Amino acid sequence: MHYPTDINLLLDALRKIIILVFRLCDLSGLTGWRQHLHIFKKVKKLYRRAQGSTNSFRRSKKRKERKEKEMKEAYKKYVSESANIIKKAKDTIETPIEFELKTIAIICDIKRYIAHGERQIEQIVRRVLDGEKIPHEEKVFSIFEEHTEWISKGKAGVPQELGIKVCVIEDQYKFILHHEVMEKIIDVEIAVPISEKALKMFPELSVISFDKGFYSPQNKKDLNEILDEVILPKKGKLSKEEREYENSDYFRELRRKHSAVESGINALENHGLDRCVDHGIIGFKRYVALAVLGMNLQNLGNIIQEKKKKEKKQEKEKRKRVA
């Protein structure tokens, strides 16, 4: 996955449309796309011009206006050629052909990428030519993995990431008790549901520690009703009572234990979650579940091995005493 912009997402859609339409023509005996490679090179050249014509901060007002005019002209040509390719692709798939299973599947894919291309053209026109700001919820960050989200981390070096957040509950023995793929969900919205699900599976669960990002007054109230103790640092300014509670030895001791989940997150990344190679949201959820299972099995294996080592050591010491 590359860094998403409206113009390179449009190019992705056009590339897939051109390849799939040529494949359809090859299977069905249609003509008109023999020079498909030339068509793509032409539109890619226009994409490069649009990419290199982005407006920059210039001191001279005239230079700035000239640069903006050049940028809009480059975008117009790119959008115009892209619209022509999409129109040609639509005309091709509407041509009467003998439908087979292969051709039906290809046509469905072409229609899907055409929809992506038309959306990107509309957003480019709105953003560059009309000067409109595109709302975040209308943006798509990958035409191949449409579930991809923009994750603002706010950390130095990694201000944002592309993917989907996963929430995990890990116990004191480093086993992941429950996990949840946070599709279109923020931290505050998942704190109570994931705790309730974990409690159903493990009724003896009594204390859970959360990050500050999960805090809300309602979450704290709801979690205190279902758990014996909730370690949930408050966002913002603390009252005198809240400051005393969060500075207490009990709270700080349990809060320090929370940092162990970071090693669990790192272990999950080592078990495949650093980069998901499966496709679609169903494939992503399956991949996460398998990574969690793999980590828990490895942890169980480590415990069994340590137990066997301890038993061998005790047996060896026993033989020494007998001798």
Q: What is the pLDDT of residues 89-147, one digit of tens each?
A: 999 988 877 767 788 888 999 999 999 999 999 999 999 888 889 888 888 898 888 88
Band (323; pLDDT cuts 50, 70, 90): low
Instruction: Please give the torsion angle defined by the CA atoms of residues 212, 213, 215 and 216, in that order, rounded to the nearest 10 degrees.
Output: 150
Rounded to whole angstroms, the Cα distance separating 87 from 133 reads 27
Single pTM value for the model: 0.76
CB atoms under 10 Å from CB of 293, counted, come to 12
Q: Which amino acid is present at 209? A: S
Phi, psi of 163, rounded to the nearest 5 degrees: 160, -150
Q: What percent of the chain has pLDDT over 70?
A: 96
Class of domain 6-138: mainly alpha
Q: Does CATH place domain 149-303 in 1.10.3470?
A: no
**Exposed, middle or buried: residue 306 (CB in 10 Å: 0-12, 13-18, 19+)?**
exposed
**pLDDT attached to residue 156:** 63
User: How far is Cα 318 from Cα 105, in angstroms, rounded to an integer?
Assistant: 70
Domain boundaries, the chain: 6-138, 149-303
